[in-house]
Amino acid sequence: MSQRRVLELKEAQKQELIRYRDHDPRPYVRERCCALLKIAEGQSPHAVAQEGIFKARDPDTLYKWLNDYEREGIDGILGHQQGGNQWRHL
């Protein structure tokens, strides 16, 4: 049986996510920060994906956001825009 994913934040990380959630002009950044904060509060990524954010998402999407954040910090949220293949138009 797999373990439930958790996100432990230092106070500075929490405040950074709150600042981006509340003030960033990009909706996708605000949504991702909101989701990560809910996971850090103890909600499962699956529950947040289904009911915890404005638009229901595939749970795999939340796990990707979590992985990006754990690997790259806030740059993982800011640097990975939404949408499929970003090189499609080339």
Residue-level pLDDT, tens digit, the chain, 90 residues: 557 788 999 999 999 999 999 999 999 999 999 999 999 999 999 999 999 888 899 999 999 999 999 999 999 999 877 655 443 333
pTM score of the predicted model: 0.85
pLDDT at residue number 39: 96
pLDDT at residue number 12: 98
Cα–Cα dist 36/22, whole Å: 13
pLDDT at residue number 83: 59
Burial class (CB in 10 A: 0-12, 13-18, 19+), 59: middle
Nearest to 32 by CA among 72, 80, 71: 80
Neighbours of 29 (CB within 10 A): 19
